[in-house]
């Protein structure tokens, strides 16, 4: 069975601090996809990144970076020099190969104060 | 503009009064899903559809019905809503092409059942 664990319920940081959001997943498939979504206070879900199980390269997009480690079944998300606009709930999700279903973690609420 | 639309965005209703939440996508996607989001639980899949006239249960289907008579539409029906169905609902769609594991989400429908 697939499962995604986001152990951090809420994180508070001060602007310009770096912050890492943890994501640990469980799956029996060798082919799967991992995602991160952002949910700002307005409520919509904003797609951030998709990573397939065969690509372990880390990725950087501006202030955002992702560290995918199959050995520890983790797909962590780091925001560098956080900003108030980064305040949101962040969800990690998993999709196994061939299934049109996302299994979500419970989310991490990030609060960035000025 | 590629998008998934949901209506209504907000709905307050009473126990037992049948309601329908509509979902429509303009991307010609085969796959469509409904999720509900509850505090501390993340998002959970209610129903999904692989194509017209093909639907199946997700993780939390009790109390819900769906239909897929047209490719673009995937309404969620609550025939006798109860207070435990108070939640934030998201419709999502994805294609069977190379990006099939990215789901496009609608803006959400906040439902309150009193």
In tens, the pLDDT along A42-80 reads: 999 998 998 888 888 888 889 999 999 999 999 999 999
Q: Which residues contact B60 (CB under 8 A, 6 or more apart)?
A: B36, B44, B45, B46
CB spacing of B102 vs A102 below 8 angstroms: no
Residue B53 has pLDDT above 70, yes or no: yes
pLDDT at residue B102, as a whole number: 73
CB spacing of B101 vs A101 below 8 angstroms: no
CB spacing of A101 vs B45 below 8 angstroms: yes
Q: Which residues contact A6 (CB under 8 A, 6 or more apart)?
A: A21, A22, A23, A24, A90, A91, A92, A105, A106, A107, A108
Pick the residue from chain B with its C-alpha nearest to A2.
B59
How far apart are the C-alpha atoms of B71 and B50, rounded to whole Å?
10
Residue A95: which of B58, B90, B101 has the nearest Cβ?
B101
CB spacing of A100 vs B103 below 8 angstroms: yes
Pick the residue from chain B with its C-alpha nearest to A4.
B42
Residue B99 has pLDDT above 60, yes or no: no
Instruction: Give the tens place of pLDDT for each residue, A23-42.
Output: 999 999 888 989 999 999 99
How far apart are the C-alpha atoms of B57 and B47, rounded to whole Å?
5
pLDDT at residue B95, as a whole number: 81
List the single best residue of A45, A53, A88, A89 to mutate versus B (max B Cβ within 10 A): A45
Q: Residue A105: its chain B contacts at CB < 8 A?
A: 42
Q: Which residues contact B3 (CB under 8 A, 6 or more apart)?
A: B25, B26, B27, B104, B106
Work out the pLDDT band at B94, boundaries 50, 70, 90. confident
pLDDT at residue B103, as a whole number: 80
């Amino acid at each position: 069975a697939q499962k995604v664990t986001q152990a951090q319920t809420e994180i508070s940081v001060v602007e310009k601090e770096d912050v890492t959001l943890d994501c640990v997943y469980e799956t029996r498939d060798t082919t799967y996809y991992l995602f991160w979504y952002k949910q700002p206070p307005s409520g919509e879900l904003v797609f951030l990144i998709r990573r397939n199980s065969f690509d372990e390269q880390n990725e950087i997009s501006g202030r955002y970076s992702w560290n995918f480690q199959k050995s520890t079944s983790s797909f962590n998300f780091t925001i560098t020099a956080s900003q108030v606009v980064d305040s949101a709930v962040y969800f990690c999700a998993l999709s196994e190969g061939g299934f049109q279903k996302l299994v979500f973690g419970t989310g991490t609420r990030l609060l960035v104060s000025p | 503009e590629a998008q998934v639309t949901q209506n209504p965005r907000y709905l307050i209703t009473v126990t037992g009064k049948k309601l329908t939440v509509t979902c429509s996508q303009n991307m010609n996607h085969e796959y469509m899903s409904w999720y509900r989001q509850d505090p501390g639980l993340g998002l959970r899949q209610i129903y999904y559809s692989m194509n017209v006239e093909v639907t199946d249960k997700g993780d939390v289907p009790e109390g819900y019905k769906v239909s897929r008579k047209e490719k673009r539409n995937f309404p969620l029906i609550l025939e006798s809503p109860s207070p435990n169905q108070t939640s934030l609902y998201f419709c999502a769609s994805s294609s069977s092409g190379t990006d099939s594991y990215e789901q496009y989400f609608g803006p959400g429908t906040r439902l309150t059942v009193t």
